[in-house]
A and B are shown apart, each in its own frame.
Chain A
């Protein structure tokens, strides 16, 4: 068995993993990236549409271009990348963490490191997770699988499509399927508002005349061997109106019903998860409860834009490097999701440093106010033109904002929206 030692190992070679590794390398620490696919870039490699990079590169790039730009930065660094390598065992209990990576090329490799950065990304929720009853024919795929089949493998999974859920991948796939000559009959969303970004509703549905059924529940999938139709039922004033159910004929159902951080390895390593994000509970250094194990990107919480993923991962990498040098936060405050806030990540802030938090709201609102309270005292209030659950909100908190917390027992920072 190949036995290799690094200062740090990053699990996942997508945008987050590469960005974190670059920071560790910049700080002078040896670093290996372990990626289960055959190429670096993660899910970006199948996202051939544009709209990536407006913040990171100040221009509009496709997913593969974005991934390539980040990957180019690896050239000339000391970072070792293992692709086609799946981490199957992770023991993070000691000072030296052990990872067993299964690879088609080198058999099993044992990697040892003082720091592990979790950057495994997320997976799509599927039919079972949202419990759609009905037949179990061929033709039911997650939007991401369909995207892979069309954009990389060159196969068309179906001709007459209904998309369930208005998540971004579903919206992008509505446009993509239309471009290759398929008919997208509907996008069906259970909520009264879309789950995807507004720009995708406009560019992927409106521009193609694809109907969006809001407040509609998918109540049945019909078809013995291959999908023949989808039954959808309106929800009116909170009641599912089965009397008004109707069936849309189609041969394919694509599901875009949310993403879940892929934390099975984290659980194996004893990492505590936040039930609101399904990602690790992280401190102000983006470190989990397991010392030396950091998390960033979609494995920490599902982001809306890859630009934010990279920004967060860069911080995780830099924090991990500082941690390796022995730096620790002097004092932290707990971060609490207050009224109308679904979650904030990370779960702690450093009272003596500049902190950046990402949060998501539970409500759709124009002219909203974001308020930050430290130990019940309002320290910051920010006006927001428009907020909605699908769009992340960034909050910056510096030592000045947090000065009331210094010295207080169990200080709490509460974020709220009104």
Chain B
């Protein structure tokens, strides 16, 4: 790792799932890499609020780059999980047809899936569907079964990628909002709003919703990222509506529709809606859309109940055109554009890392493998997943493992401290890292405890504690 210099071989702008995969992939080579993001923590944009699906490879025709990257990416998760220890499970995907005409669409999807080489894809009768997923509406007529599809906790995936990248020498800079870029000689000078400067020979624009603004700052292609909002409800882990598989409806022309998703960590997610909005910071949920989610989810899983709702939230898809836009800029030298990465972006992201690495090589970046590259990050114990005996053993070495902070999601003080030491010092960062505040009480009992632990571990004062960055201070005064 380099110190004291601000010169890099590659600067990756945007620490979402694409930027994190790209930076981590590059960290296997003898390169100085910087990963910068404008938010207070990594994964705070589109990557924090999405369906968390590893798609099955049947939704898109392989004439599209996104379909090819999806098919390649979906196969990479098992190995990544072994290396990075993030929550991921191949629980399988069912697509349910509730009307006769939907069966024709199912057949289309099946044929596309077979053509794409999807392993194990099946057309299913009603009986087979209900056997695969007993929570389905008994009126289901039939559907599609894709055993290789799965679920992932998207922010935990990004956190693990970033941790691995950092371990292999990548420098992470948060709160770095790219405002200006200039090229002199063979080097870009990238300036942030707060005056910090990064110099790099190559730049990757993986800025998600803001990729258009970053492109403009580099004098590269003019395009416009249009946010498309998706709203969700999260249901308590004790809900009767928890399915075993991800349940998709038959897709529409604009989206894959509203799903019922058993999350890896045991809660249930329903959504998303799909609504074009003008504002890239508009994460508000709305009454109308939320009503749609409930009725749509109930059509597939009748036991979905509004009484099980523990929270609602929204995310924004960075839409550009039908396909992903991943290319070297034709206008700005040594700039790779990674834009318009909407669904299946999460699934494709490991393959995007690979693809961008190859593009950089074609653009002249010399890749020589690091002899000391270590793809593994240390496994962290989660009290939630351990037996009392295992917890007792851990507590002998560190008593904080048996001091419970979040009762709903079973998170110990030791896990909160690890999150803080891994650089997550906002309440939301700690929430995504540990799940504390994510359960049924939504932080009602543990927020004050977490505030005190942050203050103790970081030395921050009460007025520096935020939800997710500067403007979101939690406390207004002290008595």
Whether the pair A148, B448 counts as a contact (CB closer than 8 A) is yes
* Given A108-B392, A108-B395, A180-B479, A133 and B290 contact (CB-CB distance below 8 Å): yes
Whether the pair B479, A150 counts as a contact (CB closer than 8 A) is yes
Whether the pair A129, B309 counts as a contact (CB closer than 8 A) is yes
Complex Cα distance A40/B449, Å? 17
Whether the pair A226, B479 counts as a contact (CB closer than 8 A) is no
Whether the pair B444, A126 counts as a contact (CB closer than 8 A) is yes
Whether the pair A157, B399 counts as a contact (CB closer than 8 A) is no
Whether the pair A142, B469 counts as a contact (CB closer than 8 A) is no
Whether the pair B404, A219 counts as a contact (CB closer than 8 A) is no
Binds B, one of A49-57, A98-106, A193-201, A371-379: A98-106
A241 at the interface (CB under 8 A from B): no
Q: Which of A100, A107, A136, A159 contacts B395 (CB 8 A)?
A: A107
Whether the pair A86, B407 counts as a contact (CB closer than 8 A) is yes
* Given A128-B310, A155-B477, A104 and B442 contact (CB-CB distance below 8 Å): no
A403 at the interface (CB under 8 A from B): no
B473 at the interface (CB under 8 A from A): yes
What A residues does B444 contact at CB under 8 A? Answer: 123-124, 126, 142, 144-145
B445 to chain A minimum Cβ distance, whole angstroms, is 7
What A residues does B467 contact at CB under 8 A? Answer: 137-138, 225
- Which residues 77-124 of A sit at the B interface, judged by CB distance below 8 A? 84, 86, 88-89, 100, 102-108, 110, 123-124
Complex Cα distance A418/B49, Å? 51
- Which residues 424-479 of B sit at the A interface, judged by CB distance below 8 A? 440-445, 447-448, 451-452, 462, 466-479
Complex Cα distance A180/B475, Å? 14
Q: Which of A128, A136, A157 contacts B475 (CB 8 A)?
A: A157
* Given A107-B395, A225-B471, A157 and B388 contact (CB-CB distance below 8 Å): no
Whether the pair B478, A155 counts as a contact (CB closer than 8 A) is yes
B396 at the interface (CB under 8 A from A): yes
Which residue of chain B has the shortest Cβ distance to A252 in the bound complex? B476
Count contacts between A and B, CB distance < 8 Å. Answer: 148
Q: Which of B283, B410, B475 contacts A156 (CB 8 A)?
A: B475
Whether the pair A104, B413 counts as a contact (CB closer than 8 A) is yes
Whether the pair A128, B404 counts as a contact (CB closer than 8 A) is no
Complex Cα distance A123/B406, Å? 13
B400 at the interface (CB under 8 A from A): yes
* Given A127-B311, A128-B310, A148-B448, A86 and B404 contact (CB-CB distance below 8 Å): yes
* Given A128-B234, A133-B290, A88 and B410 contact (CB-CB distance below 8 Å): yes
Which residue of chain A has the shortest Cβ distance to B427 in the bound complex? A138
A395 at the interface (CB under 8 A from B): no
Complex Cα distance A264/B247, Å? 27
A243 at the interface (CB under 8 A from B): no
- Which residues 215-245 of B sit at the A interface, judged by CB distance below 8 A? 233-234, 238
Whether the pair A224, B312 counts as a contact (CB closer than 8 A) is no
Whether the pair A123, B473 counts as a contact (CB closer than 8 A) is no
What A residues does B466 contact at CB under 8 A? Answer: 138
Interface size class of A (residues with CB under 8 A): 35 or more
Whether the pair A1, B392 counts as a contact (CB closer than 8 A) is yes
What B residues does A141 contact at CB under 8 A? Answer: 447
A131 at the interface (CB under 8 A from B): yes
A251 at the interface (CB under 8 A from B): yes
Whether the pair A89, B442 counts as a contact (CB closer than 8 A) is no
Whether the pair A100, B388 counts as a contact (CB closer than 8 A) is yes
Q: Give a binary string over B329-349; 1 marks a CB under 8 Å from any A CB, 0 the rest.
A: 000000000000000000000
* Given A142-B444, A156-B477, A156-B479, A128 and B311 contact (CB-CB distance below 8 Å): yes
B285 at the interface (CB under 8 A from A): yes
Complex Cα distance A104/B401, Å? 7
B284 at the interface (CB under 8 A from A): yes
Whether the pair A155, B479 counts as a contact (CB closer than 8 A) is yes
B413 to chain A minimum Cβ distance, whole angstroms, is 7
Whether the pair B283, A135 counts as a contact (CB closer than 8 A) is yes
What B residues does A157 contact at CB under 8 A? Answer: 474-476
A235 to chain B minimum Cβ distance, whole angstroms, is 14
A154 at the interface (CB under 8 A from B): yes
A329 at the interface (CB under 8 A from B): no
A149 at the interface (CB under 8 A from B): yes
Whether the pair A108, B234 counts as a contact (CB closer than 8 A) is no
Q: Which of A36, A138, A153 contacts B404 (CB 8 A)?
A: A36
* Given A108-B392, A128-B310, A226 and B471 contact (CB-CB distance below 8 Å): yes
Whether the pair A126, B404 counts as a contact (CB closer than 8 A) is no
Q: Which of B284, B389, B399, B412 contacts A134 (CB 8 A)?
A: B284
Q: Give a binary string over A225-266; 1 marks a CB under 8 Å from any B CB, 0 the rest.
A: 110000000000000000000000001100000000000100
Whether the pair B476, A158 counts as a contact (CB closer than 8 A) is yes
Whether the pair A251, B447 counts as a contact (CB closer than 8 A) is no
Complex Cα distance A393/B333, Å? 78
B392 to chain A minimum Cβ distance, whole angstroms, is 4
Complex Cα distance A226/B471, Å? 6
Complex Cα distance A181/B27, Å? 53
* Given A102-B403, A137-B467, A1 and B478 contact (CB-CB distance below 8 Å): no
What B residues does A129 contact at CB under 8 A? Answer: 309-310
Whether the pair A107, B402 counts as a contact (CB closer than 8 A) is yes
B313 at the interface (CB under 8 A from A): yes
B443 to chain A minimum Cβ distance, whole angstroms, is 7
Which residue of chain B has the shortest Cβ distance to A156 in the bound complex? B477
What B residues does A128 contact at CB under 8 A? Answer: 234, 309-312, 442
A384 to chain B minimum Cβ distance, whole angstroms, is 31
What A residues does B447 contact at CB under 8 A? Answer: 141, 145
A267 at the interface (CB under 8 A from B): yes
What B residues does A149 contact at CB under 8 A? Answer: 448, 475
Complex Cα distance A145/B446, Å? 9
What B residues does A107 contact at CB under 8 A? Answer: 391-392, 395-396, 399, 402
- Which residues 16-32 of B sit at the A interface, judged by CB distance below 8 A? none
* Given A36-B407, A133-B285, A153-B452, A103 and B402 contact (CB-CB distance below 8 Å): yes
Q: Which of A110, A145, A219 contacts B287 (CB 8 A)?
A: A219
* Given A133-B290, A224-B471, A225-B471, A104 and B388 contact (CB-CB distance below 8 Å): no
Complex Cα distance A240/B119, Å? 51
Which residue of chain B has the shortest Cβ distance to A260 in the bound complex? B440
- Which residues 267-284 of A sit at the B interface, judged by CB distance below 8 A? 267
What B residues does A126 contact at CB under 8 A? Answer: 310-311, 441-442, 444
Whether the pair A123, B441 counts as a contact (CB closer than 8 A) is yes
B182 at the interface (CB under 8 A from A): no
Whether the pair B475, A124 counts as a contact (CB closer than 8 A) is no
Whether the pair B388, A1 counts as a contact (CB closer than 8 A) is yes
What are 30 contact pairs spanning A and B, CB under 8 A?
A36-B404, A36-B407, A86-B404, A106-B402, A107-B392, A108-B395, A110-B388, A126-B311, A126-B441, A128-B310, A131-B290, A131-B309, A133-B285, A138-B466, A139-B474, A141-B447, A145-B445, A145-B448, A152-B448, A155-B462, A155-B477, A156-B475, A156-B476, A156-B479, A157-B475, A158-B476, A219-B287, A224-B471, A226-B471, A267-B238
Q: Which 7 residue pairs spanning A and B have beta carbons closest together?
A: A225-B471, A104-B403, A128-B311, A156-B477, A108-B392, A138-B467, A107-B395
Apart from A133-B286, A156-B476: 12 A-B pairs, beta carbons within 8 A: A102-B404, A104-B400, A107-B399, A108-B391, A124-B444, A126-B444, A128-B310, A133-B287, A133-B290, A138-B467, A138-B473, A141-B447
Chain A positions within 8 Å of B, measured between CB atoms, are: 1, 36, 84, 86, 88-89, 100, 102-108, 110, 123-124, 126-129, 131, 133-139, 141-142, 144-145, 148-150, 152-159, 180, 219-220, 224-226, 251-252, 264, 267
Chain B positions within 8 Å of A, measured between CB atoms, are: 233-234, 238, 281, 283-287, 290, 306, 309-313, 383, 388-389, 391-392, 395-396, 399-400, 402-404, 407-408, 410, 412-413, 440-445, 447-448, 451-452, 462, 466-479
